[in-house]
């Protein structure tokens, strides 16, 4: 059930961001480590040859420990780069990759090669909000929904408990995730 005052996706996005931003840096850091630990123990992560990730921005779940562990384990790591026209490209990142900050404040690789999606076995997905059916709300541009529609792969969403809602509005363009990890639970069915 959607909370009455949160009837639109934009209302939910604002509320989820408010909740996430209210967490202290220490709370976000501890919760992020718990989430990363749980994901790192999931067979989807363990068995993946290549993992598509995001570089945390603002108060998002910090998955840098997962990215660093992926490199240590010899996994290929991919990252989305959004172009000015709204298109996306996937790039391989390494510990030596350099980045520039976009006008939106996001980090994007400047010297990376194309990521081989044929070895991508898992996508770690950022979000503003999620529900108990593994529906996700992002920032509203649809980049991940388009990406996942084009490259269907197992998906793990990561969020803080405060970002989980009972139910979210969704439509036919919204891609449901396989699993969502928070600091205290796993949402979705594990094999």
User: How much of the chain, in percent, has pLDDT values that exceed 90?
Assistant: 63
pLDDT value of residue 2 = 41
CA 112, 114, 120, 126 torsion: positive or negative? positive
Q: Is the pLDDT of residue 142 over 90?
A: no
Cα-based distances in Å from 2 to 74, 116, 118, 159:
42, 39, 38, 18
Q: Report, as an integer, the average pLDDT of 106-123.
A: 89
Cα-based distances in Å from 30 to 39, 64, 137, 182:
14, 13, 23, 11
pLDDT value of residue 4 = 46
Tell me the CATH number for domain 9-187: 3.40.50.10420
Query: Greater confidence, 103 or 114?
Result: 114
66-113 pLDDT per residue, tens: 999 999 999 999 998 877 666 778 899 999 998 888 877 778 888 889
List the domain boundaries for the chain: 9-187
Q: Is the pLDDT of residue 1 over 60?
A: no
Q: Report, as an integer, the average pLDDT of 174-187.
A: 93
pLDDT band at 191 (very low <50, low <70, confident <90, very high): low
SS3 per residue for the chain: CCCCCCCCHHHHHHHHHHHHHHCCHHHHHHHHHHHHHHHHCCHHHHHCCEEEECCCCCCCCCCHHHHHHHHHCCCEEEEEEECCCCCEEEEEECCCCCEEECCCCCEEECCCCECCHHHEEEEEECCCEEECCCCEECCCCCHHHHHHHHCCCCEEEECCHHHEECCCCCCCCCCCCCEEECCCCEECCCC
9-47 pLDDT per residue, tens: 889 999 999 999 999 999 999 999 999 999 999 999 999
């Amino acid at each position: 059930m959607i909370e009455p005052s949160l009837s639109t996706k934009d209302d939910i996005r604002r509320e989820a961001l408010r909740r996430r931003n209210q967490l202290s840096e220490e709370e976000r850091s501890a919760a992020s480590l718990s989430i990363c630990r749980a994901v790192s123990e999931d067979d989807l992560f363990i068995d993946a040859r290549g993992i598509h990730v995001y570089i945390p921005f603002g108060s998002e779940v910090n998955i840098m420990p997962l990215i660093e562990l992926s490199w240590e384990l010899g996994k290929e790591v991919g990252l989305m780069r959004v172009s000015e026209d709204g298109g996306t490209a996937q790039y391989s990142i390494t510990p030596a990759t350099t980045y520039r900050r976009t006008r939106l404040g996001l980090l994007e690789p400047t010297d990376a090669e194309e990521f081989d999606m044929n070895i991508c076995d898992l996508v770690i997905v950022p979000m503003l909000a999620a529900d108990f059916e593994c529906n996700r709300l992002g920032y509203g541009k649809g980049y991940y929904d388009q990406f996942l529609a084009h490259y269907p792969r197992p998906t793990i969403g990561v969020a803080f408990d405060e970002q989980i809602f009972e139910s979210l509005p969704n439509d036919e363009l919204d891609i449901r995730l396989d699993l969502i990890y928070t600091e205290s639970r796993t949402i979705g069915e594990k094999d």
